[in-house]
């Protein structure tokens, strides 16, 4: 057999071989695998979001994992029910957006059958297209809209919203704000407008401009008064502004919209706690033992309590609630520390709380023996 | 710095090539052609790197996999095949059945050159990434392992050269490739999966199979047309 034939046979064999290997062993969840270390970091309580300037991978990672409940303590200001990168759209709008995104070779974030591989590939192309679009047309649009906004249709405002959200994801808030404000100029859909304002509020929130955030949150709430996430966001904004009565008011509205959702319930609890209505607060916290909350939810609730403690370091009654959360999380040693601290420090505390604290403390001590 | 790296990583390779060059007592092998093989295999080293990283990226077969089977699969399907085929391809392209390819031992020598070249490539790679500390273990373990598997595939290429039918020729090449793959796989298995007495088992494995390989080489050397009693009278007079 000639040398060339042998090389040809070997070449074909290796091509077929690699083809078979890749098709048979193709990893459909390879993205999840690549990001599994991030999950591990989260499980260990290390917050990936405290990292600085994000790389491309980090930006892509954020899409999957960026959720407010993972934000580091005190940096987590916004805690709305809806993550800002998933705005609340109606089904028709979702369809429109999906159709619009498809023009970019994009994806629909609401597709239930979306698999992670497809999603990741789409995100890549989506980013690429957005960038392209931005360079070519988007800058033109921005210039054009300065004088004659009427030329752009309302449908195109969705693009401004998506681009604005994308800029927010890049933490380029100035640019995001500019884009969103331009979008508002051409948007005539009430629900979409609400989303624009909500995101503007979130930008202000991120930049610590709580007054400005309040202004935008209120505007979006006026357009969509029955949106739970919007109510929660405004409520939490008031909480950070230490206007606990208003925080309670908006969280109660959010709670009425959907009583099964846990965030407004524990927001109400902490608002009562901040208003020093300890028994009422405890009634809401009691639900912890009945609720089947995710592990992160406990830390989320704890985080809020620590935020309140940050506001009021001398209020030792907060220690009782922190201890109670730890108790429900079955972190007994921490619970014991906080119960003891509460009992030693606050002689003026409500009787009921003192009795509960001593009861649990004794139980923990007995179990330790 | 670069000079240090080159000396450290290439020194053992020259030694091993020198040894096999002189193993053949009756013939001077064409060294200029072996440079071609060496350089081409070095280039193919990059290709192997790309293939292996892509396989580990896109398939469930990767070295850090939690499941043992995936790890083993990576070692067998990705690493062994890729590296072994890369060792025999330059020999088939530049040497096999050319004018200067005169005897079966030539195949062994050139595949060993290819093996040493791949080892040289890997040595450099590891020195860059992990520091000079890797040179000594790689000299005593990885370099002999690469040349060992190359020697086996070279032995079968030699048999293919001797075979008279086309079928047996290609079969010999594939059998050689498969055996080299298996040996490569076992070696990798020892140093990645096995946790206790790794070094001892590795050395025993290398000593045993090098013994077999040397015996096979001697078989081929005996078949050399340059061996004194094989010479024809017409050649002498």
Q: Give the per-residue pLDDT at A49.
A: 31
User: Which residue in A has a C-alpha nearest to residue B81's C-alpha?
Assistant: A14
| pLDDT (average), residues B159-176 | 90
Of B6-15, B28-37, B140-149, where does mean pLDDT reach its minimum? Answer: B6-15
How close A39 gets to chain B, by Cα (Å)?
15
pLDDT at B205: 92
Single pTM value for the model: 0.49
Check residue B9 and give its pLDDT: 72
A50 touching B, CB under 8 A?
Answer: no
CB-nearest partner of B170 from A9, A17, A21: A9
Q: Which residue of A has its CA nearest to B161?
A: A1
d(CA A102, CA B73): 38
Nearest-angstrom CA–CA distance, B72 and A228: 51
> Nearest residue on chain A to B90, judged by CA atoms?
A7
| CA B124 centroid distance within chain | 17
Residue with tokens 């990283």: B53
pLDDT of B187 higher than 90: yes
- Assembly ipTM: 0.86
Per-residue pLDDT in tens (0 to 9) along chain A, 369 residues: 788 888 899 899 999 999 999 888 887 665 555 444 444 443 443 333 322 334 455 544 544 444 333 333 223 333 433 333 444 455 665 565 555 555 544 444 444 444 434 444 444 455 555 555 555 555 555 445 444 433 344 555 666 776 677 667 666 788 778 878 877 877 777 777 888 898 899 888 888 888 999 999 999 999 888 888 889 889 988 998 889 999 999 999 999 988 888 888 889 999 999 998 888 898 888 877 777 776 667 777 887 888 888 888 888 888 899 888 888 877 788 888 888 888 888 667 788 888 888 998 898 888 776
Q: What is the rounded average pLDDT for all residues in chain B?
A: 85
For residue A199, what are its two tokens? 């995101």
Q: How far is CA A120 from CA A116, A324, A367, in A?
A: 6, 41, 49
In degrees and rounded to multiples of 5, residue B59 shows phi and psi of -115, 175
Mean pLDDT of B7-24: 82
Closest alpha carbon within chain B to A2: B97
* pLDDT value for A120: 43
Q: Provide the pLDDT for residue B2.
A: 64
Instruction: Give A-chain residues touching B61 at CB under 8 angstroms.
Output: 21, 25
Q: Is A6 on the interface with B (CB under 8 A)?
A: yes
- What sign has the CA pseudo-torsion A208, A212, A216, A221? positive
Asked if the Cβ–Cβ distance from A25 to B51 is below 8 Å, we say no
Q: Model confidence at B176, in pLDDT bands (50, 70, 90)?
A: very high
Please give the average per-residue pLDDT across B59-86, as a whole number: 87
A150 or B156, which is more confident?
B156
Q: How far is A56 from chain B (nearest CA, A)?
A: 17
Whether residue B59 and residue A26 make contact (CB cut-off 8 A), yes or no, is yes
Looking at residue A296, what is its pLDDT?
64
Q: Is B25 helix (H, G, I), strand (E, B) or coil?
A: coil
> What residue segments make up the domains of chain B, in order of their start?
2-235
Q: What is the pLDDT of residue A105?
A: 45
Residue environment code for B109-118, b if the CB has 16+ CB neighbours within 10 A, otherwise e: bbbbbbbbbb
CB contact under 8 A, A6 and B173: yes
Kindly give, in sequence order, each residue whose CB lies less than 8 Å from that of residue A365, ignoring residues fewer than 6 positions away.
Answer: A336
Q: Does A20 touch chain B (CB under 8 A)?
A: no
């Amino acid at each position: 057999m000639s040398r060339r034939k042998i090389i040809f046979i070997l070449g074909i064999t290796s091509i077929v071989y690699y083809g078979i290997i890749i098709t048979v062993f193709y990893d459909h969840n390879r993205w999840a695998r690549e990001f599994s270390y991030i999950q591990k970091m989260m499980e260990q309580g290390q917050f990936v979001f405290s990292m600085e300037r994000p790389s491309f991978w980090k930006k892509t990672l954020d899409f999957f994992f960026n959720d407010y409940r993972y934000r580091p303590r005190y940096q987590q200001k916004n805690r709305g029910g809806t993550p800002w990168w998933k705005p609340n759209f109606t089904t028709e709008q979702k369809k429109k957006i999906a159709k619009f995104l498809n023009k970019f070779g994009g994806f629909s974030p609401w597709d239930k059958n979306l698999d992670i591989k497809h999603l990741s590939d789409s995100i890549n192309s989506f980013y690429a297209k957005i960038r392209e679009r931005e360079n070519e047309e988007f800058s033109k649009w921005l210039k054009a809209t300065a004088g004659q906004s009427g030329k752009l249709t309302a449908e195109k405002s969705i693009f401004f919203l998506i681009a604005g959200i994308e800029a927010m994801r890049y933490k380029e808030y100035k640019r995001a704000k500019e884009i969103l404000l331009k979008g508002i100029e051409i948007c005539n859909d009430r629900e979409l407008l609400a989303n624009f304002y909500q995101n503007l509020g979130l930008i202000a929130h991120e930049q610590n401009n709580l007054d400005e955030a309040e202004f935008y949150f209120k505007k979006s709430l006026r357009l969509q008064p029955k949106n739970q996430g919007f109510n929660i966001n405004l409520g939490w904004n008031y909480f950070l502004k230490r206007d606990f009565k208003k925080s309670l008011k908006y969280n109660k509205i959010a709670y009425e919209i959907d009583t099964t959702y846990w965030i407004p319930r524990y927001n109400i609890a902490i608002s009562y706690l901040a208003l020093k209505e300890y028994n009422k607060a405890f009634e809401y916290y009691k639900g912890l033992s009945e609720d089947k909350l995710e592990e992160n939810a406990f830390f989320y609730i704890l985080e809020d309590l620590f935020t309140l403690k940050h506001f009021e370091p001398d209020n030792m009654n907060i220690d009782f609630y922190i201890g109670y959360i730890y108790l429900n999380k079955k972190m007994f040693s921490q619970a014991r520390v906080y119960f003891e601290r509460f009992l030693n420090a606050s002689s003026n505390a409500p009787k009921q709380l003192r009795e509960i604290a001593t009861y649990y403390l004794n139980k923990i001590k007995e179990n330790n023996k | 710095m670069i000079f240090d790296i080159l000396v450290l990583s290439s020194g053992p390779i020259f030694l091993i090539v020198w040894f096999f060059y002189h193993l053949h007592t009756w013939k001077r092998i064409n060294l200029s052609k072996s440079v071609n093989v060496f350089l081409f295999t070095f280039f193919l080293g990059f290709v192997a790197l790309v293939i292996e990283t892509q396989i580990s990226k896109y398939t469930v077969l990767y070295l850090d996999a939690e499941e043992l089977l995936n790890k083993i699969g990576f070692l067998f399907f990705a690493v062994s095949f890729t590296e072994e085929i890369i060792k025999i391809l330059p020999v088939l392209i530049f040497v096999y059945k050319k004018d200067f390819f005169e005897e079966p031992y030539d195949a062994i020598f050139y595949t060993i050159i290819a093996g040493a070249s791949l080892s040289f490539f890997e040595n450099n790679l590891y020195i860059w990434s992990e520091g000079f500390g890797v040179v000594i273990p790689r000299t005593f373990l990885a370099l002999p392992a690469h040349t060992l598997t190359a020697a086996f595939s070279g032995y079968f290429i030699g048999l293919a050269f001797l075979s008279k039918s086309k079928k047996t020729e290609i079969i010999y090449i594939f059998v050689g490739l498969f055996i080299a793959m298996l040996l490569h796989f076992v070696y990798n298995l020892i140093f990645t999966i096995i946790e206790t007495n790794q070094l001892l088992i590795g050395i025993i494995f290398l000593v045993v199979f090098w013994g077999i390989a040397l015996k096979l080489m001697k078989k081929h050397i005996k078949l050399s047309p340059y061996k004194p009693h094989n010479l024809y009278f017409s050649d002498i007079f």
